Amino acid sequence: MKTLEDLKKLREQLQSDRKVRKMSSTQVIVGMGTCGIAAGAREVMIAILDEIAQKKLEDISVCQTDCIGMCQQEVLVDVVRPNEPRITYGRVKPTDVPKIIAEHVVNGRIVEELFVGKIEQ
Amino acid sequence: MEHIRAHVLLCAGTGCISSGSKKVEAAFQREVARKGLIDEIKIVETGCHGFCEMGPIVIVYPEGVFYCHVKEEDVAEIVDSHLYKGRIVERLLYREPISHEKIINYNEINFYKKQKRMVLANCGHISPEVIEDYIAAGGYEALGQALTKMTPEQVIDEVKVSGLRGRGGGGFPTGMKWEFAKKAAGDQKYVICNADEGDPGAFMDRSVLEGDPHRVLEGMAVCGYAIGASEGIIYVRAEYPLAIKRLKVAIAQAEEMGFIGKHIFGSDFDFKVKIKEGAGAFVCGEETALLASIEGQRGMPRSRPPFPAISGLWGKPTNINNVETFANVPQIIVNGGEWYASIGTEKSKGTKVFALTGKINNTGLAEVPMGITMREIIYEIGGGILNGKKFKAVQIGGPSGGCLPESMLDLPVDYDSLIQAGAMMGSGGLVVMDEDTCMVDVAKFFVNFTQSESCGKCTPCREGTKRMLEILTNITEGKGKKGDIELLQQLAKNIKATALCGLGQTAPNPVLSTMRYFMDEYEAHINEKRCPAGVCSHLSGYSITENCKGCGLCKQVCPVTAISGEVKSRHSIDQEKCIKCGACMGKCPFKAIRKG
């Protein structure tokens, strides 16, 4: 450690590992009720985590939520972008994940074929 | 593939460890593995959150959910429900003591909401044994800036502008202290961190050392650069084994990364730090006694001047600051002295960490801006008095401080107002007392403490505190006589004026402040042989008032047949036989039995 720049570089690198401790402005929320898990929510969530890591996307929190009551539509995945309504997708399969991430999470375009509802924030 | 989506932060401060956090941590490792979540969840051991009452504390991020009193057997539920399914385990959430409202998020708890955590910013949020955590939180930036962009004079100026005053109790301006040491002539100078925290009920410095040791090291190194010292010594009491362990880890890590050692940040500044373990004598917190102790002599103060800045350790110029003072330094360098001076009151800048203990709902560490009122600390952060009892007094400043009554609750907390009110900031211990506390007994407790910690070098302290203790003991045992109060006042005045060091000079404070605000209790003890709070066992008999209907229930329940009386007429208690068990008081349906 010889200069302030070295320290700054190291700090930035270290901070990205610790971003998990802050709720990001963009959130992807997976329904993890018993129904959701039975329908494959864990696999969908792992696909989401993989996709975010592979695409090196930052400032996204992956969270879980309880059963919201639309059990026939599971796996339910919600996407929240800053200052936009919360969009719920239904019957999500791991293969749908890259599309949701690329279209909606990154570019803000709702994926119509999976869309089941929206909540104004 | 490992993709961490959640961090589980476990408090591993001394408080939480003693309430079982190590077992909780092992359970988390086990349960996370059982659920196959090892690649998704990271478990991080942190320092003290300051809310020791609620330990062991577990915080789950990114949501920031705060679980308290977590036991080993609760862990499976947290993992199954929260970490696996995203369901918050409601029964483990914190409840506000008065509203009983359940609070999910860490930042929403009143205890934290009212605080301004600057010195404690990292405590509970980073792992104290991982230097990378400190760096990610902005650590060692101040040292880098000081060494590469500032002259030692500029560093001292910045500290002077900040208005920082010594957090160990005296409140001497830190920048001035540094300047004296810088200007003193000497080939070798020393920086000493005083971590000999010894006030009963105080644990601020311990928590900073356990929760964020690098911050203290960084503050010391900045000071070393400012005054031209190449060696730092941390004088820490051996009763703080966890703090010592974490300091050792921190020093080794800082050396490895080049924050301590030779040519730090490519400059000509060399700095090394070592630890000196003290044997836990209270007087060694006094700076000249501390120096004697480091030099291998008996921990006894000497008269000043010369001040340590001129002739300190081994006769060399030495700057001694307390843990919390050093912990304030990095943020002053990074954000500037003016920023720091914008917090607090005119003459007391920044924040102060207090250890809240006693009869209060939320015990723990609270960092507040200077100038906040005692009422806000006790009622809003501390959550009020335990079991809905009445507030009586707050003892601030440890054995050197004083007791303040309810009428002083709106006093702004800063160095000067506290001294005016007959107390002092001290190192920041706050002991809250309720209606069941006897103020004479409290004064006796503190004089007993200073008396047994007196080193014995000077007569006023050695003999004077002994006599004071004798008089106070007599008063609490019903042997108080006319003239005792005047004698105590006289002794107090003389000890304050003539004792050699701070320990002796301030030893009478608890007596003087209790006499100032609670003289009626002294008088009740001496003149009426009565302890109004019912604490002093020699004086706290039970008596039966005129509310007695003569039902005889008390007579039946008394285990030593001390109660006599005819049916339907007022009963009485034989004080000789009475063992003060209180059974009669509990049984009486007419509230006719009085204690005290």
For residue B502, CA distances in Å to A60, B169, B304, B458 come to: 55, 10, 11, 12
pTM: 0.89
Contact A52 B1 (CB under 8 A): no
Contact B86 A4 (CB under 8 A): no
Closest residue in A to B135 (Cα–Cα): A11
Task: Tell me what the pLDDT averaged over chain B comes to.
Answer: 93
Contact A49 B140 (CB under 8 A): no
Closest residue in B to A49 (Cα–Cα): B3
Which has the closest alpha carbon to B314: B297, B285, B289, B291? B291
Joined together, the tokens standing for residue B310 give 């001129």
pLDDT, residue A17, reads 76
Contact A18 B136 (CB under 8 A): yes
For B24-28, what is the mean pLDDT? 94
Point out the residue among A10, A21, A30 whose CB comes nearest to the CB of B62: A21
A58/B contact by beta carbon, under 8 A: no
Best of B2, B3, B131, B140 to substitute, by most chain A Cβ atoms within 10 angstroms, is B3
Contact B62 A2 (CB under 8 A): no
Best of A11, A19, A60, A68 to substitute, by most chain B Cβ atoms within 10 angstroms, is A11
Contact A23 B63 (CB under 8 A): yes
Contact A37 B85 (CB under 8 A): yes
Computed on alpha carbons and rounded to an integer, the radius of gyration of chain B in Å comes to 27
Strand B231-237, strand B429-434: pairing:
unpaired
* Model pLDDT for residues B390-442, shown as the tens digit of each residue: 999 999 988 889 999 999 999 999 999 999 998 888 888 899 999 999 999 99
Closest residue in A to B146 (Cα–Cα): A4
* Distance in angstroms (rounded) separating the CA atoms of residues A2 and B195: 30
A10/B contact by beta carbon, under 8 A: yes
A57/B contact by beta carbon, under 8 A: no
Contact B148 A4 (CB under 8 A): yes
DSSP letter string over B152-212?
Answer: HHHHHHHHHHHT-B-TTTT--BHHHHHHHHHHS--S--EEEEEE---STT--HHHHHHHH-
* Model pLDDT for residues B185-240, shown as the tens digit of each residue: 999 999 999 999 988 888 999 999 999 999 999 999 999 999 999 999 999 999 99
* Model pLDDT for residues B116-144, shown as the tens digit of each residue: 999 999 998 899 999 999 999 999 999 99
Confidence of residue B104 (pLDDT cuts 50, 70, 90): confident
Q: In what order do the strands lie in the sheet with B58-61?
A: B41-46, B6-11, B58-61, B65-67
pLDDT, residue B340, reads 97
Residues of A in contact with B3 (CB under 8 A): 46, 49-50, 52-53
Contact A63 B86 (CB under 8 A): yes
Taking CB atoms and an 8 Å cut-off, how many pairs form between chains A and B? 86
Contact B3 A49 (CB under 8 A): yes
B107/A contact by beta carbon, under 8 A: no
pLDDT, residue B596, reads 66
Angle at B168 between CA B163 and CA B172, to 5 degrees: 40
Please identify which residue in the block is written with the tokens 């502008």.
Answer: B161
Best of B35, B104, B135 to substitute, by most chain A Cβ atoms within 10 angstroms, is B135
Confidence of residue B536 (pLDDT cuts 50, 70, 90): confident
pLDDT, residue B425, reads 87
Is the pLDDT at B524 greater than 80? The verdict is yes
* Model pLDDT for residues B259-275, shown as the tens digit of each residue: 999 999 999 999 999 99
Is the pLDDT at A70 greater than 90? The verdict is no
Contact A14 B135 (CB under 8 A): yes
CB contact residues (below 8 A), chain B span 140-159, against chain A: 140-141, 144-145, 148-149
For B579-586, what is the mean pLDDT? 86
Is the pLDDT at B541 greater than 80? The verdict is no
Best of A64, A65, A66 to substitute, by most chain B Cβ atoms within 10 angstroms, is A64
pLDDT, residue B1, reads 63
The gap from C-alpha B133 to its chain's centroid, in whole angstroms, comes to: 26
Contact A20 B5 (CB under 8 A): yes
Burial (CB < 10 A; 0-12, 13-18, 19+), residue B353, is buried
Which has the closest alpha carbon to B332: B154, B135, B137? B154
Q: Looking at this protein, which amino acid is placed at residue A10?
A: L
Best of A9, A13, A18, A43 to substitute, by most chain B Cβ atoms within 10 angstroms, is A18
Q: What is the rounded (10 degree) CA torsion for B208, B212, B216, B222?
A: -150
Confidence of residue B25 (pLDDT cuts 50, 70, 90): very high
Confidence of residue A121 (pLDDT cuts 50, 70, 90): low
* Model pLDDT for residues A89-109, shown as the tens digit of each residue: 999 999 999 999 998 989 988
Q: Decide if B204 contacts B427 (C-beta within 8 A).
A: yes
Comparing B493 with B198, which gets the higher pLDDT? B493
CB contact residues (below 8 A), chain B span 404-423, against chain A: none
Contact A50 B1 (CB under 8 A): yes
Q: What percent of chain B has pLDDT over 70?
A: 100
B1/A contact by beta carbon, under 8 A: yes
Task: Tell me what the pLDDT averaged over chain A comes to.
Answer: 88
Closest residue in A to B41 (Cα–Cα): A20
Point out the residue among B6, B42, B140 whose CB comes nearest to the CB of A7: B140
A27 CA to chain B: closest CA distance, Å? 10
Contact B61 A20 (CB under 8 A): yes
HEC letters along chain A = CCCHHHHHHHHHHHHHHCHHHCCCCEEEEEECCHHHHHCCHHHHHHHHHHHHHHCCCCCEEEEEECCCCCHHHCCCEEEECCCCCEEEECCCCHHHHHHHHHHHHHCCCCCHHHEEEEECC
A56/B contact by beta carbon, under 8 A: no
For B296-309, what is the mean pLDDT? 94
B125/A contact by beta carbon, under 8 A: yes
B259/A contact by beta carbon, under 8 A: yes
Least confident of A63-67, A79-83, B156-160, B468-472: A63-67
For B41-61, what is the mean pLDDT? 90
Closest residue in A to B126 (Cα–Cα): A18
User: How many CB atoms within 10 Å of residue B32?
Assistant: 23
Is the pLDDT at B159 greater than 90? The verdict is yes
ipTM of the predicted structure?
A: 0.88
* Model pLDDT for residues B1-21, shown as the tens digit of each residue: 678 889 999 999 888 898 899
Strand A77-80, strand A26-31: pairing:
antiparallel
Point out the residue among A29, A62, A64 whose CB comes nearest to the CB of B85: A64
Point out the residue among B64, B86, B258 whose CB comes nearest to the CB of A32: B86
